[in-house]
Chains A and B, each alone.
Chain A
Amino acid sequence: MAKDILVYVLHYDGAFNKNSLGAVSEGGRLAGELGGECHAIVVGDKSGLPDELCATVGKWGASKVFRVEAPEGLAQPVVDAMAHVISENGHGYALFGGGLLGFEIGAGLCARLDAGVTMEVTSVAVEDGKLVAERPILQDSSISRSRYKSDVGVIIGRLNAFEAAEGDGGSAEVVDVDVQISDYSTHAKMVQRGEQRGADVNIEDADILVAGGRGLGKAESFKLCEDLAEALGGAVAATRAVVDAGWYPYAAQIGQTGKSVAPKLYLAAGISGAIQHKVGMQGSENIVAINKDSNAPIFEFADLGIIGDLNKVLPKLTEAVKAKKAS
């Protein structure tokens, strides 16, 4: 198998995605061990991807960055671009950080190149000159290792699995590539991108977060979380389920397509603890969960679990916290 690694780097609003840069760091490390090179690929409108910006991926470990002019924010044009660059340059692996687009691009690439794909990868090792990807399965109860039998191996990381570490690399060489975009890739068109939906709340600076999920039952019940957060001196966060339902603003969402946080205390009320939520908050120092289902996955990683009805527990907890603070 070829030893060079191609990493997709997502960008938005003039900045590179932190998880993509983490994948570049990981790609740089792995290519070093394999005896190959790590390259990056950026796709979008060239005016948003100036030379100086592109060259900075060198700091994270890519020696070269391919720049392709194509529509932004959708997967299929990137599949076209990566398939082209891989076939011209013979990369052995395509690597993605966590997120949503990486899943779609990686999957499309797997079909296009008849390649093996592994998603939700938390670590990658080099064995016998090849990459082996580790993926937790079955609600993180077991870990499976993937070995590739194809010419190209597609590896899609889990959110925050790869840390963006600045290495001693200089600037990356910027190489413009013309790619013929497939007809069907132009059949999906971005109408509006990155709509925020709801108030612009700040949760990233909070030491304490009280997070609410679908178990709250209705939008109004977020008041229970807000009262407790106020008593504790913290802010309120949410799951995608309740943000999609329009109960709480997107800016408060934690997880794969939201924010990643690591407060001193994360108190989750009515949250099942799905992997896509967990990846955004598992770095919290103390995790407390209130859930009426004793089998909820969140109890697998909570430091303190309360099996009970949040409608009963939250109001009394708020009172008790207030009383404690007043004493």
Chain B
Amino acid sequence: MKICVLVKEVPDAAVQKRINPSTGRMDRSGEKNLNPYDTHAIEAAMQVREGGAVEVDEIVAVTMGPESAIRALHKAVSLGADRSVHLSDDALAGSDINATGYALSKALAAEQPDLVLLGQQSDDGECYTIGAVVADHLSMPSLTQVIKMDVEGGELRCERQAEYGYDTVSVQMPAVISVGDAINEPRYPSLKAIMGAKKKPLDKKAIGDLEIEADRVGEAGSKVACGDFHDPPAKTAGEIIEDEDTNETVEKVVAWLDERKLI
């Protein structure tokens, strides 16, 4: 079977994320990295391959993003993907969730995967939803926030927490599964894998290669216009104590609690 893993390039965790006021889009100028949540999806694919319940022929990393997103693909390959697909086109810039999900579903449809895995959220967009959008376009069942996934008799047995506790759901493949960060502990890539990543096949695709309709993507094709960015109401900053002498620290905390009649 073939597994496609959706990965995304995001600003590095250390970078202060902000909106560029002139474009109304995320400022992507700083240091970038593979979305940390996506490493769990790659690891999940590796564990299906190594689990032996099913023969995995290929793990393909798929991203949509600008030129620089190649580095996220290299990282995905160093973590275990066999090759990657880079959907990149100026016409895609400024796509909203609807447009992004549509375009990604076209890239996936061309690959005909049995299983699509993705992360629980992107560190910058935080929409939690691309999986469900992609699944509907591909007419596949889907589940998000999965923290346990086993292949059993050709089906996936998945567990996840929903609003009333833990649900166990059996899902027929082909399927789209977004995994929670509790599903596994991603491995570190070996030096050899890092060095070899650039040599693995990378297919670059433009919208014309995938029959993506230009008027359904990009800023113009998006169905939501975001704007009027503004600050939330100011909140009085809390007090901060840096713990140097712990006896002193807890004395201050107790006084603080006592003042508010909490002790």
Contacts and interface: CB of A to CB of B under 8 A. Distances in A.
Interface of A: 10, 12-13, 17, 73-76, 79, 99-101, 103-108, 110-112, 114-120, 136-150, 182-185, 187-197, 208, 232, 240-241, 243-245, 250, 257, 264-265, 275, 286-288, 294, 299, 301-309, 312-313, 316-317, 319-321, 324-325
A199 to B, nearest CB: 13
Of the listed residues B129, B168, B242, the one surrounded by the most CB atoms of chain A closer than 10 A to its CB is: B129
Which secondary structure dominates where chain A touches chain B?
mixed
Interface stretch (B80-88, B110-118, B157-165, B188-196): B157-165
20 contacts: A76-B136, A111-B134, A116-B222, A188-B141, A193-B162, A195-B167, A197-B165, A240-B182, A250-B165, A264-B262, A265-B257, A286-B260, A304-B241, A305-B241, A306-B240, A306-B253, A308-B242, A308-B249, A316-B249, A324-B254
Of the listed residues A192, A306, A319, the one surrounded by the most CB atoms of chain B closer than 10 A to its CB is: A306
Contacts of B17: 138-139
B132 A191 contact: no
Contacts of B33: none
A111 B128 contact: no
B262 A208 contact: yes
Contacts of B144: 100, 103-104
Contacts of A195: 165-168
A145 B232 CA distance: 12
A194 B246 CA distance: 42
B224 A189 contact: no
A182 B142 CA distance: 13
A286 B254 contact: no
B218 interface: no
B232 to A, nearest CB: 6
B206 interface: no
A190 B141 contact: no
The interface size bin for chain B is: 35 or more
Given A188-B172, A320-B251, A145 B133 contact: no
Contact of B161 (A120, A232, A257, A306): A257
A308 B168 contact: no
Contact of A188 (B136, B170, B243, B254): B170
A69 B139 CA distance: 21
Given A257-B161, A304-B256, A324-B258, A192 B133 contact: no
Contacts of B180: 244
A299 B240 contact: yes
B147 interface: yes
Nearest to B131: A107
Contacts of B187: none
A150 B223 contact: yes
Of the listed residues B97, B147, B251, the one surrounded by the most CB atoms of chain A closer than 10 A to its CB is: B97
Given A139-B17, A306-B241, A316-B250, 13 more contacts: A104-B129, A111-B105, A115-B223, A147-B225, A147-B227, A197-B166, A244-B180, A245-B182, A250-B166, A257-B161, A275-B126, A307-B243, A313-B250
A146 B224 contact: yes
Given A12-B164, A114-B98, A307-B240, A143 B231 contact: yes
A188 B171 contact: yes
B161 A108 contact: no
B162 to A, nearest CB: 5
A275 B127 CA distance: 12
B98 A188 contact: no
B164 A187 contact: no
B224 A117 contact: yes
A305 B240 contact: yes
B35 interface: no
B142 A188 contact: yes
Contacts of B199: none
Contact of B166 (A145, A194, A312): A194
A17 B223 contact: no
Contacts of A146: 224-226
B228 interface: yes
A308 B246 CA distance: 9
